[in-house]
Amino acid sequence: MGLDIRWPIGLMFTLIGVLLIGFGAVNSADSQRLGMNINLIWGVVLLIFGVLMLLGASHGSKTPPPA
Amino acid sequence: MQPIHLAWVDYTILIAYVAFVVGIGWALARYMKTSSDFLTSARSIPTWVTGLAFISANLGALELVGMAASGAKYGIATAHFYWVGAIPAMIFLAVFMMPFYYGSKARSVPEYLQMRFNKPVMGLNAVGFAVMTVFASGISMNALAKLLNQLLGWNYHFALFVCSGVVLIYVLKGGLTSAIYTEVLQFFMIVLGFAPVVYLALKDVGGWSAMTDKLHAVAQNPMALDLNTKSFAPDAWTSAWKPLLGGSSANPMGVDVFAIVFGLGFVLSFGYWCTNFLVVQRAMAAKNMTAARNTPIVAAIPKMLFPALVILPGMLAVALTAMPDKDYRIPPPIIAPANYAKAVDVIKNTNPPNPAAEIKDVSDALGQKVNADKITALITANAATKLSDDQIKEGIYNAVAAYDYDSVIFSLVKKYCPAGLLGLALTALLASFMSGMAGNVTAFNTVWTYNLYQAFFVPNKSDEHYFWMGKFITVVGIGLSIGCAYFARQYNNAMDIIQLVFGFVNAPVFATFLFGMFWKRTTSIGAFFGLLGGILSSTLFHAFTFAHGNLPGVKGGYLGMKIEFPSEMAQNFWLAAFAFTVCFVLTLVISLATSRTKSDEQLKGLVYSLTPKIVDHNVPVWQRPAVVGTVLLAACVILNFIFW
């Protein structure tokens, strides 16, 4: 059916990734766990995942995205 | 545990997630024109999507919570539910059974039984399945609402209605397609939401080998942590097979190799993965035969790795509990604040200190066993320098000698997630709940509309009518689930019985499918009475057996306690093995004694020997189910050896 699910998945994780990066950067002290700014780090991971999904959707390639 | 306070960033993540799943439903609504679009996705979805939905529908909130609990109680042997109890059956489904489900053009698993046998066999399967899906989603809704109430202080009714309301909206809008698409989104949400928690806990413990070192010490003396009442070999929590080889008394699960391999690995596992419409429906929605057959194969890849996400946290929680400097314990059962206050008074007001009497009084006040050494230490500390009420309460909390294993995963979320990551992990919890519930609802509405309503009550109406009924029953199904959630909240014991009955219904069913698909001589009468006999025999088996430590009653033995099993899990595995065997033998014997009513021609496409083999020559090697399935099986065997 006419919806490529990679669009909403990519958009959502890009959004949440950016949100976590911003939040982690501003609240650096509260985001520390075991000596890492975990919000910032995980925000970057989510952002990369989200962007990869969006790229996959925009290329409309037939190969499955990284799962 | 104290309720967790959520920050605005956490709510933003939660709301963004809800907006996206509802949005997906909205976007798909315009494609819903016939009952087939709504209930079966008109067989239009690509493999990787159905594959991830297949695994996501199975990954409900109870699975997530329960596997972490088992990881803490039994260690890595819990992985048998994946490597023995799932992967082989999923590959069997892909290679041998999907051609019949998909090729027969049946719209559901029960409908295959109608084509292969007759309506009564289908009805027996469909009714049991429909009732089970409603109760299953009700039970998990109740568990979720309770959890949100404890964790976040949300109102129980609010949590129940909002969560099921969201599922209702997107399923009603976009039907099965919407459920499947959101399940893919939920799959990634669950993985990416819980992965950082597992990573942080593992890092905090000091890595894999530090964890196994701790668990070796725990296994030799689990009494010190009140984890178990006897000691085991050092590798009881960290080896998957070695502890089983020593027999059922040598491992905390209380099972032996036969029970795992035959009971879990063959009967229960194949019964679930190969015949449960909840998961098979995802594969049946695939766009073509190759995609349908590859659906369980795609699903098997993450399934094989899930123990790292869902079982490892339980093992880490035990290791952390055994490390005093980590300031962590697996939470005790929920105890009312008033009872804690009473226990604090006992410690404060007994003068001079009298440990023996105080331990008993504290235990009575809490309604729980307590660790005598820890209470004695607390009394000594309080006698030396007066402690504050909060300090005493914390000491008592740490001394409760019982665990609420189901809260393992969220106690870790609470410990390791700052605001931000916390919202992500909670959203992952909600996502797992919704994927499980949507799976149940979409399987229920299809079975009801096509296999009960159309087949038995109102046949020969227009498709519009069944389309309308599909939507109507979706609303009814969610309403019934909410009713079941309240029922579960009210009568915990009644729910235990219901879950048991499902066990009885499910245990023998794989024998019926096995005969139906692979032996053309199987007759409808043989299938019907074999299945019925299997269900009755599991009921009888349960009535005459009980698990060590259980009193006769709900959990078995009500017709005399004849056979004792070392654990409930062993009792379940053996029950399944027994019921399967009865169904197998009855179907075989009755089929031989009765004559066939369907000709070879009628069974074409439904029975293995009468169906042309699928030729995969035009399909690339990496898309051939038999090839990839073999590779995955080999990988699974290797995993078993690594964690031997």
- Which of B8, B41, B188, B204 is most worth mutating to test chain A (most A CB atoms within 10 A of its CB)? B188
Query: For residue A66, what pLDDT is reported?
Result: 43
- For B631: left if phi > 0, alpha if psi spans -120 to 50, otherwise beta; the answer is alpha
Q: Is the per-residue pLDDT at A65 higher than 50?
A: no
- Which of B45, B192, B287, B303 is most worth mutating to test chain A (most A CB atoms within 10 A of its CB)? B192
Whether the CB-CB separation of B474 and B441 falls below 8 Å is answered with yes
Query: For residue B60, what pLDDT is reported?
Result: 82
| ipTM of the complex in this document | 0.91
Q: Is the per-residue pLDDT at B621 higher than 70?
A: yes
Nearest chain B residue to A63 by CA: give it.
B48
- Residues whose CB falls within 8 Å of the CB of residue B610, separated by 6 or more in sequence, listed in order: B520, B600, B603, B604
CA-CA distance, B337 to B99, in Å (whole number)?
58
- Residue B556: phi and psi, rounded to 5, are 120, 170
Q: Could you give the 3-state DSSP secondary structure of residue A66?
A: coil
Query: For residue B533, what pLDDT is reported?
Result: 93
Closest CA to B48 of A9, A64, A5, A66: A64
| Residue with tokens 């994780």, as numbered in its chain | A13
CA-CA distance, B117 to B474, in Å (whole number)?
28
Nearest chain A residue to B182 by CA: give it.
A5
Q: Is B181 on the interface with A (CB under 8 A)?
A: yes
Of B380-394, B413-427, B585-599, the poorest mean pLDDT is in: B380-394
Confidence of residue B496 (pLDDT cuts 50, 70, 90): low
Tell me the pairing of strands B563-565 and B545-547: parallel
How far the first Cα of chain A sits from its last, in Å, is 21
CA-CA distance, B309 to B428, in Å (whole number)?
12
Positive/negative CA dihedral, B614, B620, B621, B623: negative
Closest CA to B184 of B293, B47, B76: B47
Query: For a pLDDT cut of 90, what percent of chain B falls above it?
Result: 56
**Cβ atoms within 10 A of the Cβ of B338, count?**
9
CA-CA distance, B290 to A1, in Å (whole number)?
18
Structure token digits, residue B605: 């496409």
- Does the beta-carbon distance from B31 to A2 stay under 8 Å? yes
Q: Is B203 on the interface with A (CB under 8 A)?
A: yes
Mean residue pLDDT across chain B: 89
What's the gap in Å between the CA of A9 and the closest CA on chain B? 6
Confidence of residue B306 (pLDDT cuts 50, 70, 90): very high
What's the gap in Å between the CA of A20 and the closest CA on chain B? 6
Q: Is the per-residue pLDDT at B151 higher than 90?
A: no
Query: For residue B499, what pLDDT is reported?
Result: 66
DSSP B408-448: HHHHHHHHHPPTTHHHHHHHHHHHHHHHHHHHHHHHHHHII
Closest CA to A42 of A65, A29, A24: A24
Average pLDDT over residues B167-180: 93
Q: Could you give the 3-state DSSP secondary structure of residue B286?
A: strand
User: Under an 8 Å CB criterion, which residues of A touch B?
Assistant: 1-3, 5, 8-9, 11-13, 15-16, 19-20, 23-24, 27, 30-34, 38-39, 42-43, 45-46, 49, 64-65, 67
Q: Which amino acid is at A23?
A: F
Q: Which amino acid is at B390?
A: D
Query: For residue A55, what pLDDT is reported?
Result: 94
Which residue among A5, A16, A27 places its CB closest to the CB of B16?
A16
Q: Where are the domains of chain A?
A: 6-59
Degrees (nearest 5) of the Cα angle B293, B294, B295? 95
Contacts of A64 in chain B (CB under 8 A): 47-48, 298
**B203 class by beta-carbon count within 10 Å (0-12 exposed, 13-18 middle, 19+ buried):** middle
CA-CA distance, B477 to B495, in Å (whole number)?
18
Q: pLDDT, tens digit, for every residue of B337-354? A: 888 888 888 888 877 777
Which residue among B48, B181, B420 places its CB closest to the CB of A20?
B420
Nearest chain B residue to A27 by CA: give it.
B419
CA-CA distance, B350 to B360, in Å (whole number)?
12
- Residue B411: phi and psi, rounded to 5, are -70, -35
Q: pLDDT, tens digit, for every residue of B427-485? A: 999 999 888 899 999 999 999 999 999 999 999 999 999 999 999 999 999 999 999 99
Looking at the DSSP bridge assignments, the partners of residue B564 are B546
Q: Is the per-residue pLDDT at B362 higher than 90?
A: no
Query: For residue B148, what pLDDT is reported?
Result: 86
CA B337 centroid distance within chain = 32
Which residue among B17, B203, B420 places its CB closest to the CB of A23?
B420
Q: Which amino acid is at B399?
A: A
Query: For residue B416, what pLDDT is reported?
Result: 93
This prediction's pTM: 0.92
Which of A32-41, B251-260, B494-503 has the highest mean predicted lDDT (pLDDT)? A32-41
Architecture of domain B8-321+411-490+622-642: Up-down Bundle (1.20)
- Does the beta-carbon distance from B419 to A11 stay under 8 Å? no
What's the gap in Å between the CA of A22 and the closest CA on chain B? 10
- Which of A4, A5, A63 is most worth mutating to test chain B (most B CB atoms within 10 A of its CB)? A5
What's the gap in Å between the CA of A59 and the closest CA on chain B? 16
**B349 class by beta-carbon count within 10 Å (0-12 exposed, 13-18 middle, 19+ buried):** exposed
Cα–Cα distances (Å) from B104 to B429, B450, B603, in that order, read 37, 15, 10
- Does the beta-carbon distance from A1 to B200 stay under 8 Å? no
User: For the stretch B486-513, what's the b/e string if a residue is b when 16 or more beta carbons lie within 10 angstroms of its beta carbon?
Assistant: bbbbeeeeebeebebbebbbbbbbbbbb
Q: Where are the domains of chain B?
A: 8-321+411-490+622-642, 332-402, 492-612
Q: Is the per-residue pLDDT at B107 higher than 90?
A: yes
Query: For residue A1, what pLDDT is reported?
Result: 57
Q: Could you give the 3-state DSSP secondary structure of residue B582?
A: helix
What's the gap in Å between the CA of B446 and the closest CA on chain A? 19
Structure token digits, residue B55: 């695994």
**B553 class by beta-carbon count within 10 Å (0-12 exposed, 13-18 middle, 19+ buried):** exposed
- Does the beta-carbon distance from A31 to B203 stay under 8 Å? no
Q: Is the per-residue pLDDT at B56 higher than 70?
A: yes
Q: Is B302 on the interface with A (CB under 8 A)?
A: yes
Query: For residue B570, what pLDDT is reported?
Result: 83
CA-CA distance, B278 to B456, in Å (whole number)?
22
Confidence of residue B49 (pLDDT cuts 50, 70, 90): very high
- Which of B15, B17, B28, B185 is most worth mutating to test chain A (most A CB atoms within 10 A of its CB)? B185
- Does the beta-carbon distance from A34 to B24 stay under 8 Å? no
Query: For residue B216, what pLDDT is reported?
Result: 94
CA dihedral B332, B337, B338, B344 (to 10 degrees): 70
| Residue with tokens 């066993």, as numbered in its chain | B369
Query: For residue B503, what pLDDT is reported?
Result: 74
- Does the beta-carbon distance from B188 to A9 stay under 8 Å? yes
